[in-house]
Amino acid sequence: MENAFKGVIICGTWLYDHRCIRLDDFADLRVPVKNDVQCIQIDKHGLSRLLRARAMTLEFSPDEKKVMAELDMHVLWGGRYPIPKRYELDKPFQVQPMVPFEEHYKIIDRIYDEATKELNLLISLQRAHMQKTDMV
């Protein structure tokens, strides 16, 4: 899903101004933020952060954004520390392992489907633009 979001951002940014996407290393790529003059890097994890990019034209419901925030936390911490590194005897109820959230699969599928549809549309537009201007 994150890669689909990044693809939407890169293609959308390229369609807006193809001169700004000329990097071989996307660690150096900065893209404009909606309603701001700032730019953000897109080589880091974070679905919620990627939604700030100007080229991210997809709109998501509050429930979908909540699921994305949970996925962000899961990617950040669940992959590193599936359980807390320390157990404190005086706070036994703070030990909460990261568990899969099966109830969100339908929402996750919907977000992924929307992102890949948008990405395929942008790729088609990019291809048409390149053919029209002999960039191929």
The structural domain count of the chain equals 1
Structure-block tokens of residue 20? 């700004």
pLDDT for the residue numbered 107? 92
pLDDT for the residue numbered 99? 59
pLDDT for the residue numbered 125? 94
pLDDT for the residue numbered 80? 65
pLDDT for the residue numbered 105? 87
pLDDT for the residue numbered 8? 95
Give the number of other CB atoms < 10 A from CB of residue 105.
Answer: 11
Residue 73's domain comprises 2-132
For 72, left (φ over 0), alpha (ψ -120 to 50), or beta? alpha
pTM of the model: 0.78
pLDDT for the residue numbered 47? 92
Structure-block tokens of residue 17? 């101004």
pLDDT for the residue numbered 51? 93
**Positions of the chain with pLDDT lower than 50, given as ranges:** none
